[in-house]
Amino acid sequence: MNPTVRPVILSGGSGTRLWPLSTTNAPKQFLELLGEPLFEATLGRVDELGLGGTVTVVTGRDQLLAVERSLASKAIEGATVLVEPSGRNTAPAVVAAALISDPDDVLVVLPSDHVITDSPAFGDAVSKAVALAGDGALVTFGVEPSRPETGYGYIEKGEPVGSGFRVDRFKEKPDEGEAARLAGDGRHLWNSGMFVFGAGQILSEARRQVPEILTGVVAALPAETAGTITLGEIFSDIPATSIDHAVMENAANSVVVPLDAGWSDVGSWHSVWELSERDGNGNSLNGDVVAVDVTDTYVRSGSKTVAVAGVTGLVVVVTPDVVLVVPKEKSQMVRDLAAGWAATRRAD
């Protein structure tokens, strides 16, 4: 008998790498950055896959209303929504989703803020991953690097297994020199942050490797585990860590399936520029923008006219509160700017 394949959509975080547009109250997955909001696009992708199992969404209190609106707009019925009192990264979220699933379910864990442009290729990769997970593997998807990227983690491929490769190691986000080496050696893939594994299998690994997380999530789960489930405040005491670091890095049965499906985590303004429609000068101009002698630049204004001249390779984003100007190739620095801006507001 084939296992039930259950999609799990992670919708936490504030998307600070797309500050100032993306904030805690309006994170990137609910913004119309590239047309349809990314969360709704993810729901549509899940529907296209036809996985069959009940959709589980893990989100925070501030995003619950947006999640409910998106589920209604996509006519997704019977979804289970796990509401975290505070974000604790992906390991507690995945453990919570596994605990409310049947142990024999295969979970397809998808962040809600990614872009995938080739749905058939993605569906093929998911099918391969589900087959591997049915044999007990903990599967992640790895993307062939197209450039040195310091904003992604990397996965080193080991020996072939089925339609994938054993994971030799996970590599945290590297510096520029290390990113250039990893992107060019043919052995490393970008870590997509998407996973496929049996619910019982991931819980067994969590029990072995991070029992404090499993115990904390069990304590936070209410007795009723259907519909909208609000996790108890004790959830906020659980260590905040990723499922990669908590479980995948030290599991003997971690497998990576290569993915070539037009994937992006939309993790920087550079990525938004890459994914946007551009004019003959390589510019993506959004809102009330005047540009003269400008090339390869992203400009977005939501509040006033923005006039830009004689520049190349910039990101300019204007909101009612903030004006952001950063070289496109340095757009990973936006996270630091967002942290600095938040710190000054707290000081005030």
Mapping DSSP onto H, E and C, the string for 100-149 reads CCCCCCEEEEEECCCEECCHHHHHHHHHHHHHHHHCCCEEEEEECCCCCC
Check residue 91 and give its pLDDT. 98
Nearest to 109 by CA among 247, 38, 10, 248: 10
Q: Which amino acid is at 27?
A: P
Rg (CA), the chain: 20
Check residue 284 and give its pLDDT. 98
Check residue 177 and give its pLDDT. 92
Counting Cβ atoms within 10 Å, is residue 236 exposed (0-12), middle (13-18) or buried (19+)?
A: middle
C-alpha distances in Å from residue 268, one per residue of 22, 113, 114, 175, 327:
11, 12, 12, 16, 12
Map residue 170 onto helix, strand or coil: strand
Numbered ranges of CATH 3.90.550.10 in the chain:
5-264
Cis peptide before 20 (omega within 30 of 0): yes
Q: Which residues contact 32 (CB under 8 A, 6 or more apart)?
A: none
Longest dimension (CA), the chain: 64
Contact present, 224 and 81 (Cβ < 8 Å)? no
Q: For residues 195 and 138, what is the distance between their CA atoms, to the nearest angstrom? A: 8
Residue 224 CA from chain centroid, whole number: 28
* pTM summary value: 0.93
Q: For residues 100 and 227, what is the distance between their CA atoms, to the nearest angstrom? A: 11
Q: For residues 73 and 61, what is the distance between their CA atoms, to the nearest angstrom? A: 20
First vs last Cα of the chain: how many Å apart? 61
Check residue 224 and give its pLDDT. 83
Nearest to 217 by CA among 97, 103, 312: 97
Check residue 1 and give its pLDDT. 59
Q: For residues 4 and 251, what is the distance between their CA atoms, to the nearest angstrom? A: 23
Low-confidence ranges of the chain (pLDDT < 50): none
CATH class of 5-264: alpha beta
Check residue 2 and give its pLDDT. 77
DSSP 280: T
Contact present, 67 and 91 (Cβ < 8 Å)? no
Contact present, 301 and 287 (Cβ < 8 Å)? yes
Matching residue, tokens 């809600």: 112
Q: For residues 156 and 189, what is the distance between their CA atoms, to the nearest angstrom? A: 7
Residue 263's DSSP bridge partners are: 116
